[in-house]
């Protein structure tokens, strides 16, 4: 049995990995697969009702299998490693689509100042989690993080239905390496607006966590667990938000909120705003805005996107020099994430914020804004 489970690990181990990293990958993925639902399915049942041939057994096995597909992105890792299917994975997209529909619940649940504020604050906190930690920390090592707080913000980011931090960081590093080429997974100039905005995240071929790009994080078990079971977090978060509203309904009626109202405003709407604000960086921020740096990709600086994403909208800056903790390169380019990171560094919650060398800031400026794609040096600096 162990052999069967273990054989499923082989395809996910990058062939070029060092012996040490291969052992890390083997250990953690082996450990978690042994507690996996897949393991339960492979057990030989001894209870007559659940005989291997019985219809009840088949039903339960099928049910567990489908639930596994919802909540575990690596569940079918063995099949996916040889699966060349491309396009939208509609089955796994159902919860994401339902969350969009849930926003229309506003019509029935009404509103209250408390619910609206909850929505805004939960959006801002999770946007910070995604921008500061999913992006600048896990993807680029732009600062050093306290392990507890890094996990905390990664957990909040996971509740925004953008999958796990390692899945996210791997996809993003891939983007920097192949931005606006045929290999880019979400380029609007190659694949069109809708694919670059939302289609790619729903695609079958992008479900797998590309661990070959994030080997530096595999030694942290809490991140591997969070990444592997990231599908559970939005479910738990949704329940917590509902219960919070329900408790307030009974114990603080002056707030005029309840479980359903808080679920719609504080979870569904807040999460959808967070998701689409993030997605605009991949789509609109490679289409509209100004270009300061002469890069081979179409990244732009967009002041409006910088508002919604707390600073990430200065995307042309970021593609020019991804290593720094800041995306706004001049004082007038507001970068809320960087301001908060600076304050957190005073408290020693984060340290070693990587700065922007002046000579890099002044290098490779674009001469002609009309060229949508530059002919200059491209990405000249490393990603991490
Ligand atoms: Zn980009
Ligand atoms: Zn980046």
pLDDT of residue 52: 54
Distance in Å, CA 307 to ligand 1 centroid: 17
Ligand nearest to the CA of 186: 1
Distance 212 CA to ligand 1 centre (A): 20
pTM of the full predicted structure?
0.81
Measured distance CA(286)–CA(299) in Å, rounded: 4
| Ligand 2 centroid to residue 319 C-alpha, Å | 7
At residue 236, the pLDDT reads 94
Beta strands in 77-206 (DSSP E): 144-145
* pLDDT at residue 91 in the model: 82
Predicted pLDDT at 367: 78
What is the CA(237)–ligand 2 centre distance, in A?
27
CA of 186 to the centre of ligand 1 (A): 9
Expressed in angstroms and rounded, the spacing between residue 147 Cα and the centre of ligand 2 is 21
Q: What is the pLDDT of residue 253?
A: 94
Interatomic CA distance for residues 157 and 126, integer angstroms? 5
Cα 177 to ligand 1 centre (Å): 10
Note the pLDDT of residue 58. 72
Question: What is the distance in A from the centroid of ligand 2 to the CA of 176?
Answer: 7
Name the closest ligand to CA 313.
Answer: 1
Q: Are 242 and 102 in contact (CB under 8 A)?
A: no
Length of the chain: 384
46: left (phi over 0), alpha (psi -120 to 50) or beta: alpha
The pLDDT of residue 353 is 96
Q: How far apart are CA 299 and CA 364, in angstroms?
A: 14
- Report which bound ligand comes closest to the CA of 139: 2
CB 74 within 8 Å of CB 81: no
Contacts of 82 (CB under 8 A, 6+ apart): 11
H, E, C per residue of the chain: CHHHHHHCCHHHCCCCCCHHHHHHHHHHHHHHHHCCHHHHHCCCCCCHHHCCCCHHHHHHHHHHHHHHHHHCCCCCHHHHHHCCCCCECHHHHHHHHHHHHHHHHHHHHCCCHHHHHHHHHHHHHHHHHHHHHHHHHHHCCCCEECHHHHHHHHHHHHCCCCCCHHHHHHHHHHHHHHCCCCCCCCCHHHHCHHHHHHHHHHEHHHCCCCHHHCHHHCCCHHHHHHHHCCCHHHHHHHHHHHHHHHHHHHHCHHHCCCHHHHHHHHHHHHHHHHHHHHHHHHCHHHCCCECCECCCCCCCECHHHHHHCCCCCEHHHHHHCCCCCCCCCCCCCCCHHHHHHHHHHHCCCEECCCCCCHHHHCCCECCCCCCCCCCCCCCCCCCC
Could you tell me the distance, in angstroms and rounded to a whole number, from the CA of residue 66 to the centre of ligand 1?
A: 34
Quote the CA–CA distance of 249 and 382 in Å, as a whole number. 52
139 CA to middle of ligand 2, Å? Answer: 7
Q: What are phi and psi of 162, to 5 degrees?
A: -115, 30
- pLDDT tens profile 230-249: 888 999 999 999 999 999 99
Q: What is the pLDDT along the chain (384 residues), one digit of tens a residue?
A: 333 333 333 333 343 444 554 555 555 555 554 444 444 444 444 444 445 556 777 777 677 666 666 665 543 444 444 445 678 888 888 889 999 999 999 999 999 999 999 999 999 999 999 999 999 999 999 999 988 999 998 998 999 999 999 999 999 999 999 999 999 999 999 999 999 999 999 998 888 888 889 989 988 989 988 998 888 899 999 999 999 999 999 999 999 999 999 999 999 999 999 999 999 999 999 999 999 999 999 999 999 999 999 999 999 999 999 999 999 999 999 999 999 999 999 999 999 999 999 999 998 888 766 656 655 555 556 677
Whole-number pLDDT of residue 100: 95
Give residues whose Cβ lies within 5 Å of ion ligand 1. Answer: 299
Q: How far is the CA of 174 from the centre of ligand 2 (A)?
A: 10
Ligand sitting nearest the alpha carbon of 181:
1
């Amino acid at each position: 049995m162990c052999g069967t489970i273990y054989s499923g690990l082989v395809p996910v181990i990058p062939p070029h990995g060092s012996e040490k990293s291969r052992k890390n990958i083997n250990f953690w993925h082996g450990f978690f697969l042994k507690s996996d639902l897949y393991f339960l399915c492979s057990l030989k049942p001894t209870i007559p009702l659940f005989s291997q041939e019985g219809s009840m057994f088949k039903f339960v096995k099928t049910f567990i299998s489908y639930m596994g597909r919802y909540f575990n992105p690596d569940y079918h890792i063995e099949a996916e490693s040889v699966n060349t299917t491309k396009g939208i994975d509609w089955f796994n997209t159902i919860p994401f689509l339902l969350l969009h529909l849930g926003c229309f619940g506003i019509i029935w649940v009404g509103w209250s100042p408390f619910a609206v504020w909850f929505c805004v604050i939960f959006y801002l906190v999770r946007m910070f989690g995604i921008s500061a930690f999913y992006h600048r920390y896990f993807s680029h090592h732009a600062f050093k993080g306290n392990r507890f707080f890094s996990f905390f913000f990664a957990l909040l980011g996971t509740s925004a239905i953008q999958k796990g931090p390692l899945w996210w960081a791997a996809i993003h590093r891939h983007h920097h390496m192949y931005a606006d080429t045929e290999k880019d997974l979400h380029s609007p100039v190659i694949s069109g607006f809708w694919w670059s905005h939302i289609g790619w995240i729903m695609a079958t071929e992008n479900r797998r966590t590309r661990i070959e790009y994030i080997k530096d994080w595999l030694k942290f078990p809490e991140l591997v667990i969070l990444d592997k079971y990231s599908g559970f977090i939005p479910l738990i978060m949704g329940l917590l938000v509902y219960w919070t509203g329900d408790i307030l309904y009974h114990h603080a009626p002056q707030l005029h909120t309840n479980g359903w109202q808080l679920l719609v405003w504080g979870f569904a709407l807040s999460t959808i705003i967070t998701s689409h604000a993030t997605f605009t960086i991949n789509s609109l921020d490679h289409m509209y805005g100004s270009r300061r740096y002469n890069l081979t990709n179409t990244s732009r600086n967009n002041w409006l996107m910088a508002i919604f994403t707390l600073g990430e909208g200065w995307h042309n800056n970021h593609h020019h020099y991804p290593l720094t903790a800041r995306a706004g390169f001049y004082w007038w380019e507001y970068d809320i994430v960087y301001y908060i990171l600076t304050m957190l560094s005073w408290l020693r919650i984060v340290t070693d914020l990587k700065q922007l060398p002046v000579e890099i800031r002044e290098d490779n400026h674009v001469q002609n804004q009309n060229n949508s794609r530059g002919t200059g040096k491209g990405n000249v600096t490393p990603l991490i």
